[in-house]
């Protein structure tokens, strides 16, 4: 695998993993079914664990593509944390804004259809 391919794979995987907690509200880490919907602290904890998993995967790809791991300072990790946060923004908006908007309009449409019947 070339370095360019590994970078693209890493970016796509990071975007997908950053959005997973917000797309599956009844499952924890896609494996553990929950009785109730996740709370905000659970979303944040799951997102952070996926950030750490993504970091481990990035280390593996870097080692496989380049043969060694470059030393990094704390600024690198802070930038990656905020980049992962930006990647999670579409899933967050879908879960907490857009989905509620869609649900509200679906309920209104059902009410209107029932009243016309």
Q: Is the pLDDT of residue 107 over 90?
A: no
How many domains are contained in the chain?
1
Tell me the C-alpha to C-alpha distance, in Å, between residue 85 and each of 5, 15, 31, 57, 72: 23, 10, 23, 17, 20
pLDDT tens, residue by residue, 36-72: 888 899 999 999 999 999 999 999 988 888 888 889 9
What is the span of the domain harbouring residue 39? 3-116
Tell me the C-alpha to C-alpha distance, in Å, between residue 63 and each of 23, 36, 59: 31, 40, 6
Q: In which band, very low, low, confident or very high, does the pLDDT at 26 lie, cut at 50, 70 and 90?
A: confident
Answer yes or no: are the C-beta atoms of 18 and 88 closer than 8 Å. yes
Q: Render 12-44 in DSSP notation, one character per residue.
A: HHHHHHHHHHHH-TTEETTTEE-SSPPPHHHHH
- 53, HSE (Cβ side, Cα atoms, 13 Å): 14
**7 backbone dihedrals φ, ψ, rounded to 5°:** -65, -45
What's the whole-model pTM score? Answer: 0.80
């Amino acid at each position: 695998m070339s370095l360019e391919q590994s970078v693209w794979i890493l970016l796509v995987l990071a975007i997908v993993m950053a959005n997973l907690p917000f797309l599956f509200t009844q499952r924890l880490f896609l494996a553990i079914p929950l009785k109730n919907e996740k709370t905000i602290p659970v979303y944040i904890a799951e997102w952070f664990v996926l950030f750490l998993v993504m970091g481990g995967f990035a280390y593996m790809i870097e080692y496989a593509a380049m043969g060694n791991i470059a030393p990094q300072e704390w600024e690198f990790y802070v930038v990656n944390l905020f980049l992962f946060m930006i990647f999670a923004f579409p899933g967050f908006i879908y879960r907490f804004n857009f989905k509620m908007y869609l649900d509200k309009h679906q309920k209104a449409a059902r009410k209107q259809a029932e009243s016309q019947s």
